[in-house]
Structure 1
């Protein structure tokens, strides 16, 4: 799937994030020719984790069909392994249960990470509560909700 197509899909359907600007690769899941899910995979956002051997699932978005998240997590890990990476990571909100990640063989390696307010005196940020009108009840970035980091060893 082309980057622009993936970004359009994610910007339309993701519950609380816009699409990533850049990635290493992205894949789509289809049913009867209709795209039902997209995953974007790129370098880890954290400089500490960006070691050249790790990739991160930056965005995963589906329309809710059964098992599509697990399918995309599994395919992303397999492609990363074939590209020579040794680990793949992703983050989910603590309010999410991680069932798709568990089903795909990933493990939770850290709880309570991130989620702090990015608006600081040295780097002011305007926090927009709603990202898009399609989901007006969802915050753009869930403020102060911590995340879980999940990973899968590939080698």
Structure 2
């Protein structure tokens, strides 16, 4: 969490990778990051902090995804490397059918080694 002492300015959430192909026991995935727009460099600060925590917990790699419409400036500022693009998609199937409430288009995969 990022604060100014009194107010919450931003939060970041990380956990086991959503993709079973990335879930190797040494990779942490940042799944959410939210920072009030008025706080300059807040996203980069949260990503840096998450990487320090990941390293302290024994993880070797941190991954995250951005939409292709995003420029990735915070990722590059936090020393993440662009590793590829996935095709996106939906988790829905005939059974169970789901309603997608998230973007289902292509996304960039960003990786940072922390060991």
The alignment's TM-score, normalised by the length of structure 2, stands at 0.91
Offset of residue 122 of structure 1: 4.1
Distance in structure 2 (CA, Å) of the matches to 1:32 and 1:79: 21
Equivalent of 2:53, from 60, 63, 79?
79
**Are residues 1:40 and 2:13 paired?**
yes
Task: Point out the structure with the larger strand share.
Answer: 2
Matches of residues 20-99 of structure 1 in structure 2 within 5 Å?
A: 28-64=1-37, 65-99=39-73
Match of 2:107 in 1: 147
User: Residue 81 of structure 2 aligns with which residue?
Assistant: 107
Structure 1: runs of 5 or more not aligned: 1-27, 128-139
Give the superposed CA RMSD: 1.4
Instruction: Name the SS for the 2:14 alignment partner.
Output: strand
Structure 1 stretches of 4+ moved >6 Å: none
Give the TM-score normalised by structure 1.
0.69
Deviations 1:16-49 (A, max 9, x none): xxxxxxxxxxxx0012421110001101111111
